[in-house]
């Protein structure tokens, strides 16, 4: 076996750290068409797949720091095997490092001119030697791994960079398989944290299920599978508190490089009417909601519906083991309808079990067709104990089948006894947001804040004026900047 650092090649013209756009890799397997305009060996493409894939790391405010690890085992083969895959890209994220571990030795990549790297890689392939090549291609990176027989290797790819907030949201796309089923072990361990503000809501889309854990400064998302998977793309969306105007200078370091981002979030003073909305508010009134919890929920609800516009439609569902709906059909948000709804909610008395499934079905049933924005806000503080209680998957499957109008469902887990995983998955699979709120003295205010996050229109155009400035220049025209 002959492995040397020269066989782990980064084929770039120029310096790798100057490449500014990058995303997380997708695994493209058994691709019989050579994706490279240079490296040979398409004839040697085989069925070598990663036995283990791990994606782990963190998003801190808007800084992405993630390690993608793949284990390839060619120890039972009599010949060298090659695999090619594509690293999809997302603006602002870059590939910052790559390495391969064979035995107990770690080999790091070298930056070389592209053609020289391709030629050396091809020579290694012809000699049946282990080699790893990374070539910049358009907006992405093409990777070739040639692994000689009788060994296994671990490939690490580190990606990092800054996300831009667009329309109030941070979004990170993580392609997984490109639609190709992979018989492998997959582990995803990611956290979303914030150093300067609370995470007002988040959505995880693409996974069949996941475990969400509330952290002091954010949330942790965990997923594992050792079965045949067909996950094309994992999308992480989240929002920080954006209702309070102001600015913030954030700095980050990975131990080698330093980054900074300046957040400017002016308060919106004028909002023109947009498409009218249809809301259903679902309130848990089971026995565990007694005392201060129900009072906080009432206070928050009364504040929420006072923000509705006259052409908005809304309805209210309250549930314990039984389901109660304010109206058979949604009503427009007139002053009289708002007053009637507030009176109805103020008279709710907690008691009974938690029929989560029945409440969701009732909420979806009250939705009407039409060209309006449809959204449900579910608030619950307990585990499902009535109606459909067999499995989380059973409830999620039922909601998915019933949600034929494309209703966005956001969820609030209210207290430590709530089914956080059920509600996080419910929001993620229905284009909504999820937040965990402890029933503290400020819980009512937090509920209202969360409501604003998914209900308040975002500015689609803006202007910034600086007073008292002697001279000002920008590296990027304002009209080309991402809308925040």
Q: What's the domain count of the chain?
A: 2
Whether residue 284 is contained in a domain is answered as yes
Q: Specify whether 26 is located in the same domain as 149.
A: yes
Whether residue 474 is contained in a domain is answered as no
pLDDT bracket for residue 365 (50, 70, 90):
very high
Nearest alpha-carbon partner for 50 in 150, 226, 140, 183? 183
Residue 321, domain extent: 277-455
Q: Specify whether 323 is located in the same domain as 422.
A: yes
CATH classification of the domain holding 302: 3.40.50.410
The residue with greater pLDDT, 350 or 208, is 350
Whether residue 95 is contained in a domain is answered as yes
Whether residue 479 is contained in a domain is answered as no
Check whether 17 has a pLDDT greater than 50: no
pLDDT bracket for residue 251 (50, 70, 90):
confident
Q: Specify whether 186 is located in the same domain as 328.
A: no
Enumerate the β-bridge partners of residue 252. 259
Q: Specify whether 42 is located in the same domain as 143.
A: yes
Q: Specify whether 334 is located in the same domain as 449.
A: yes
pLDDT bracket for residue 226 (50, 70, 90):
confident
Q: Specify whether 420 is located in the same domain as 292.
A: yes
Tens-place pLDDT, residues 151-194: 899 999 888 888 877 656 788 887 665 444 556 788 889 999 88
Whether residue 233 is contained in a domain is answered as no
Whether residue 469 is contained in a domain is answered as no
Q: Specify whether 283 is located in the same domain as 186.
A: no
- As given in the structure block, the two tokens for residue 198 are 């609370």
Q: Specify whether 15 is located in the same domain as 133.
A: yes
Tens-place pLDDT, residues 80-116: 888 887 777 677 787 888 888 988 888 888 778 888 8
Each residue of 197-233: b (16+ CB within 10 Å) or e? bebbbbbbebbebbebebeeebbbbebebeeebebeb
311 φψ region: left (φ > 0), alpha (ψ -120 to 50), beta (else):
alpha
Whether residue 238 is contained in a domain is answered as no
pLDDT bracket for residue 410 (50, 70, 90):
confident
Q: Specify whether 283 is located in the same domain as 432.
A: yes
Check whether 6 has a pLDDT greater than 60: no
Each residue of 284-307: b (16+ CB within 10 Å) or e? bbbebbeeebbebbbbbbbbbbee
Please report the pLDDT score of residue 280 as a whole number: 92
The residue with greater pLDDT, 257 or 374, is 374
Q: Specify whether 185 is located in the same domain as 291.
A: no
- Say whether pTM exceeds 0.85: no
What integer best gives the mean pLDDT of the chain? 74
Please report the pLDDT score of residue 167 as a whole number: 53
Q: Which residues contact 184 (CB under 8 A, 6 or more apart)?
A: 49, 50, 51, 52, 53, 226, 229
pLDDT bracket for residue 325 (50, 70, 90):
very high
Q: Specify whether 13 is located in the same domain as 146.
A: yes
Check whether 340 has a pLDDT greater than 90: yes
Weakest-pLDDT range from 101-110, 177-186, 197-206, 386-395: 177-186
Whether residue 247 is contained in a domain is answered as no
Q: Specify whether 310 is located in the same domain as 434.
A: yes
**Per residue, what are the HEC states of the chain?**
CCCCHHHEEEECCCCHHHCCEECCEECCCCCCCCCCCCCCCHHHECCCCEEEEEEEEEEECCEEEEEEEEEEECCCCCCCEEEEEEECCCECEEEEEEEEEECCEEEECEEECHHHHHHHHHHHHHCCCCEEEEEEECCEEEEEEEECCCCEEEEEEEEEEECCCECCEEEEEEECCCCCCEECEEEEEEEEECCCCCEEEEEEECCCCCEEEEECCEEEEEEEECCEECCCEEEEEEEECCCCCEEEEEEEECCCCEEEEEEEECCCCCCCCCCCEEEEEEEECCHHHCCHHHHHHHHHHHHHHCCCCCCCEEEEEEECCCEEECCCCCEECCHHHHHHHHHHHHCCCCCCCCCHHHHHHHHHHCCCCCCCEEEEEEEECCCCCCCCCCCHHHHHHHHHHHCCCCCEEEEEEECCCCCHHHHHHHHHCCCCCEEEECCCCCHHHHHHHHHHHHHCCCCCCCCCCCCCCCCCCCCCCHHHCCCC
- As given in the structure block, the two tokens for residue 289 are 């909601």
């Amino acid at each position: 076996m002959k492995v040397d650092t020269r066989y782990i090649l980064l084929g770039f013209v120029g310096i790798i750290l100057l490449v500014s756009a990058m995303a997380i890799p997708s695994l493209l397997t058994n691709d019989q068409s050579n994706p490279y305009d240079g490296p040979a060996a398409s004839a040697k493409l085989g069925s070598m797949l990663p036995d283990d894939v791990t994606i782990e790391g963190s998003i801190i405010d808007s800084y992405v720091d993630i390690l993608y690890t793949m284990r390839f085992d060619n120890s039972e083969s009599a010949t060298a095997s090659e695999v090619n895959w594509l690293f999809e890209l997302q603006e602002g994220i870059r590939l910052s490092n790559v390495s391969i571990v064979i035995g107990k030795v770690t080999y790091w990549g070298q930056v070389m001119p592209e053609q020289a790297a391709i030629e050396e890689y091809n020579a290694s392939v012809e000699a049946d030697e282990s080699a790893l090549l990374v070539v910049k291609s358009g907006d992405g990176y093409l990777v070739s791994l040639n692994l000689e027989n009788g060994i296994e290797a671990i490939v690490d790819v580190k990606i990092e960079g800054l996300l831009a907030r667009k329309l109030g949201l941070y979004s990170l796309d993580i392609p997984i398989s490109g639609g190709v089923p992979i018989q492998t072990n997959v582990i995803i361990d990611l956290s979303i944290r914030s150093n300067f503000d609370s995470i007002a809501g988040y959505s995880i889309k693409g996974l069949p299920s996941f475990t969400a854990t509330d952290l002091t400064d954010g949330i942790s998302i965990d997923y594992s599978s050792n079965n045949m998977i067909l996950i094309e793309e994992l999308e992480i969306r989240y929002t920080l508190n954006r209702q309070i105007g102001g600015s913030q200078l954030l700095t980050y370091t990975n131990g080698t490089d330093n980054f900074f981002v300046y957040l400017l979030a002016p308060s919106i003073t004028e909002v023109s009417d947009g498409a009218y909305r249809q809301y259903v508010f679902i309130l848990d009134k089971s026995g565990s909601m007694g005392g201060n919890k129900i009072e906080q929920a009432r206070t928050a609800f009364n504040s929420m519906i006072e923000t509705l516009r006259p052409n908005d439609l809304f309805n209210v569902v309250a549930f314990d083991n039984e389901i109660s709906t304010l109206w058979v059909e949604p009503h427009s948000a007139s002053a009289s309808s708002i007053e009637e709804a507030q009176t109805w909610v103020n008279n709710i008395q907690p008691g009974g079990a938690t029929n989560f499934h029945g409440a969701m079905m009732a909420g979806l049933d009250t939705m009407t067709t039409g060209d309006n924005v449809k959204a449900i806000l579910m608030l619950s503080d307990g585990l499902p104990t009535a109606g459909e209680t067999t499995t989380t998957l059973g409830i999620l499957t039922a909601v998915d089948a019933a949600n034929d109008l494309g209703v966005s469902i956001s969820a609030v887990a209210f207290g430590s006894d709530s089914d956080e995983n059920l509600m996080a998955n419910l929001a993620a699979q229905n284009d909504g947001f999820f937040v965990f709120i402890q029933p503290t003295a400020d819980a009512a205010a937090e509920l209202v804040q969360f409501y604003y996050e998914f209900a308040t229109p975002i500015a689609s155009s803006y202007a910034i004026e600086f007073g008292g400035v002697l001279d000002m220049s920008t590296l990027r025209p304002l009209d080309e900047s991402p809308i925040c």
